[in-house]
Amino acid sequence: MPVVLNWLESWGAPLFASVVSIIYFRSSPRAQALWERVTVSAHGASIAALYFGAMSIWWAGASRSSFATPFALASVLPVALIVFSFYSFSRSAHSSLSPDRESSLLHLDAFCW
């Protein structure tokens, strides 16, 4: 069981975030412009990219406390994309996936994970 928990702890959040992005992109209306579909679904991919970037620096042994500020600034992008995707398009993928918008907490949970 510790192996499963360790795997979930290290790979669960970026995997979940990536899957959410794929679902949102594939569920968005094909009539919607490509840039809208990408923007609405980009939050999970940005969370995964931020995670893998930070972990790559750590795995390479190059992590430093001076990277905290750039990481914090980069963390604004996924949050901004979540807010943008939920409030910018009235007929986005979110309209069909989460009409009550309570699932936005899942995205923020995955980001905070």
Higher-confidence position of 31 and 107:
31
The domains of the chain are located at 2-112
CA dihedral 16, 35, 91, 28 (to 10 degrees): -50
Q: pLDDT, tens digit, for every residue of 27-84?
A: 878 888 888 888 888 888 999 999 889 888 988 999 899 999 999 999 999 888 888 8
Do residues 24 and 97 touch, judged by C-beta distance below 8 A? yes
Residue 46 · residue 78 · CB < 8 Å? yes
Amino acid 62: pLDDT: 93
